[in-house]
Amino acid sequence: MIPNPWDVGSALILAGLGFQALATSSAASACVLGRKDHGLTRDEALAHARSIIDATDLPVSADLGNGFGEAPEIVGETIRLAAEVGLVGCTIEDATGKQGHPLYDFSLAVERIAAAAEAARALQYPFMLTARAHNLVYANPNLDETISRLQTFEKAGADVLFAPGLPDLAAVGAVCAAVSKPVNFMAGIKGKSFSVAGLAAAGVRRISLATSLYRAAMTGFLDAAREVKDAGQFDFLNRCVTTPELNELMRI
Over residues 132-149, the pLDDT tens digits come to 999 999 989 999 999 999
Q: How confident is the model at residue 157 (pLDDT cuts 50, 70, 90)?
A: very high
Burial level of 227, CB count in 10 A (0-12/13-18/19+)? middle
Mean pLDDT across 159-171: 98
- Side by side, the strands of the sheet bearing 183-186 are 22-23, 60-63, 89-93, 128-132, 160-162, 183-186, 206-208
Asked whether 51 and 90 are in contact (CB, 8 A), the reply is no
Q: How confident is the model at residue 202 (pLDDT cuts 50, 70, 90)?
A: very high
Does 90 map to a domain?
Answer: yes
User: Please, what is the average pLDDT of the chain?
Assistant: 97
Does 244 map to a domain?
Answer: no
Given this model, what pLDDT does residue 207 score? 98
Does 135 map to a domain?
Answer: yes
Does 237 map to a domain?
Answer: no
Q: How many structural domains does the chain have?
A: 1
CA–CA separation, 186 and 208 (whole Å):
5
Does 134 map to a domain?
Answer: yes
Mean pLDDT across 157-183: 98
Does 182 map to a domain?
Answer: yes
Given this model, what pLDDT does residue 89 score? 98
Does 246 map to a domain?
Answer: no
Given this model, what pLDDT does residue 206 score? 98
Domain at 148, CATH number: 3.20.20.60
Does 218 map to a domain?
Answer: no
Q: How confident is the model at residue 225 (pLDDT cuts 50, 70, 90)?
A: very high
> The domain containing residue 47 runs over which residues?
8-211
112: which residues sit within 8 A by CB, 6+ positions away? 66, 67, 70, 72, 75, 92, 94, 104
- Closest by alpha carbon to 161, among 184, 180, 143, 141? 184
* Percent of the chain predicted with pLDDT > 70: 100
Given this model, what pLDDT does residue 125 score? 97
